[in-house]
Amino acid sequence: MKFNTAALVAVSAAALSLAACAESEQEAQEDLVEQQAESQEDLLEEQADLAEAQGDEATEEALDAQADALGEGGDAAEDQVDEGM
């Protein structure tokens, strides 16, 4: 019986370890997606700044609106993830 108990404990520990790895991988993937979205938002903001410097107000406003929408979408997605935890 001790062998079975020890084996069960070892299997349980391995399963917990794997679950922790999977969670860490998922968190890493979520971080990567978040960083990519933030980079895209930053790029849009820089393009808007360039358009402003060039006197193209319509393009600047459109790019700013896109950047704002991207940021708000990211915030909403993050809120949903936080609520699910």
pLDDT digits (tens, 9 = 90+) for 27-72: 888 889 889 999 999 999 999 999 999 999 999 999 999 999 988 8
The answer to the question of residue 2 being in a domain is no
pTM (predicted TM-score): 0.62
Task: Please tell me the predicted confidence (pLDDT) of residue 1.
Answer: 39
Nearest to 52 by CA among 64, 67, 68: 64
Task: Please tell me the predicted confidence (pLDDT) of residue 75.
Answer: 74
Phi, psi (rounded to 5 degrees) for 65: -65, -40
Nearest to 48 by CA among 29, 33, 62: 62
The answer to the question of residue 41 being in a domain is yes
Find the domain containing 43 and state its range: 24-84
The answer to the question of residue 28 being in a domain is yes
Count structural domains, the chain. 1
pLDDT at 23 over 60: yes
The answer to the question of residue 54 being in a domain is yes
The tokens of 46 are what?
């820089």
The answer to the question of residue 57 being in a domain is yes
The answer to the question of residue 7 being in a domain is no
Q: What is the arithmetic mean of pLDDT over 9-17? A: 66
Whole-Å CA distances, 24 to 17, 18, 30, 37, 68: 11, 10, 10, 20, 30
Nearest to 73 by CA among 29, 25, 33, 26: 33
The answer to the question of residue 65 being in a domain is yes
